[in-house]
Amino acid sequence: MPGKTNLLDFTLAGLTEWFALMGEKPFRAKQVFRWIHQRGVGDFAAMTDLAKSLREKLEATAEVRAPAILSEHRSADGTVKWLFDVGIGNGIETVFIPEEDRGTLCVSSQVGCALDCKFCSTGRQGFNRDLAVAEIVGQLWVANRRLREADAGVERPVTNVVMMGMGEPLNNFGPVVDSMAIMLDDHAYGLSRRRVTLSTSGVVPHIRKLKERLPVALAVSLHAPNDAIRSRIMPINDAYPISTLLEACRDYLEAAPRDFITFEYVMLEGVNDAPDHARELVRTLEGTPAKVNLIPFNPFPESGFGKTAPDRVRLFQRILLDAGIIATVRKTRGDDIDAACGQLAGQVVNRMKRKAVHFQRREARS
């Protein structure tokens, strides 16, 4: 018998089609879509303005199934980090960062990542699989529900989404675009294109495709002022070197909701953090409207990289600012809960591996 259809997998257009196959009118699909995404309801019986017969039909054939929470950690600064179960031994992570004027959710798009950036603990774990729409949107769906429960007065706790968790979102193009379409839909989360940011390591052909399909705000992991350093720490640079990448970024700006591209730059001690690197970065970015976000590196076991001292980060920032480039330093949030990309998921994978070894040993003994 086929399993139930997970309605979290559908955009509104997809849900309308599925309803049509069930012999139901389009406005019914819209109603259900609103119940699920705007009100965070997953139980058809609670969708009180639907006919009882429709609710029964939905209960028999469909479900609203987000990934299950493996753990939830709340940091003293308000940051919340969830680890979701996406299959045996696999965890993905989602982080909520509250600020005065916004609440940003950092969402994962893949289990692991194939791109092997040398400073990234997710990359070190290798690639496992792409996430489905229900698993991507499900992170937002669960976060809103959990945050509403914790703070009953807040109607929509998540005001911004960054596709910046585990994985390269552009390498899971279809499901990521559909998920972002749901985030933007006025019948769902109603976020503007400015409030949804996709962060990529620079998969150039897909940047061009994204411009046509759904040009949300774009952040690019640059992390180096020249090709030699970038290729050393990001193998993708061999396929799409900096000049090609920046050309795609300038082209993207024709459709982007902001008039600049955000460039992420992780500060790695002795690798890319010298004043000369900052000056070279200024020259590299000439002609590309840019904002640079400097990220203090958060060392993890066996990373092989060190953390740049804060005064050196400030000097780097000062050189960019003096050259007229907006440059910010990312605040480290949730330090007490280990909120850096990939780290908690790594711990779970290790824990699962330990468990597997434990069971194998037990079975071998019995």
341 a catalytic residue: yes
Q: Which is nearer to ligand SF4, 32 or 220 (CB)?
A: 220
Residue 48 burial (C-beta neighbours within 10 Å; 0-12, 13-18, 19+):
exposed
Beta strands in 222-357, from DSSP E residues, in sequence order: 261-267, 290-296, 326-329
DSSP 8-state class, residue 46: G
Residue whose CB is nearest to ligand SF4 in the complex, by number? 123
CA distance 328 to 349: 33
CA distances from 300 to 86, 173, 307, 363 (A): 23, 29, 10, 33
Q: Which is nearer to ligand SF4, 62 or 217 (CB)?
A: 217
Residue pair 105/141 in contact (Cβ under 8 Å)? The answer is: no
Task: Map residues 182-211 to x or -, x wherever contact with ligand SF4 holds by CB under 6 A.
Answer: -------------------x----------
Kindly tell me which residue out of 168, 178, 185, 273 binds ligand SF4, with binding defined by CB under 6 A: 168
Q: Which is nearer to ligand SF4, 50 or 115 (CB)?
A: 115
- DSSP H/E element including 131: none
Q: Which is nearer to ligand SF4, 94 or 221 (CB)?
A: 221
- Residue 157 in contact with ligand SF4, rule: CB under 6 A: no
Kindly tell me which residue out of 122, 128, 144, 197 binds ligand SF4, with binding defined by CB under 6 A: 122
CA distance 247 to 281: 16
Stretch that binds ligand SF4, among 76-84, 163-171, 250-258, 300-308 (CB under 6 A): 163-171
Residue pair 223/201 in contact (Cβ under 8 Å)? The answer is: no
Q: How far is CA 322 from the centre of its chain?
A: 32
Q: Which is nearer to ligand SF4, 122 or 317 (CB)?
A: 122
- Give the active site residue among 59, 63, 93, 264: 93
CA distance 5 to 8: 9
Kindly tell me which residue out of 8, 29, 36, 120 binds ligand SF4, with binding defined by CB under 6 A: 120
- Residue 90 in contact with ligand SF4, rule: CB under 6 A: no
Stretch that binds ligand SF4, among 75-83, 90-98, 120-128, 325-333 (CB under 6 A): 120-128
- Single-letter amino acid, residue 143: A
Contacts of 350 (CB under 8 A, 6+ apart): none
Q: Which residues are catalytic?
A: 93, 341
Chain residues binding ligand SF4 by CB under 6 A are 113, 115-117, 120, 122-123, 166-168, 201, 221
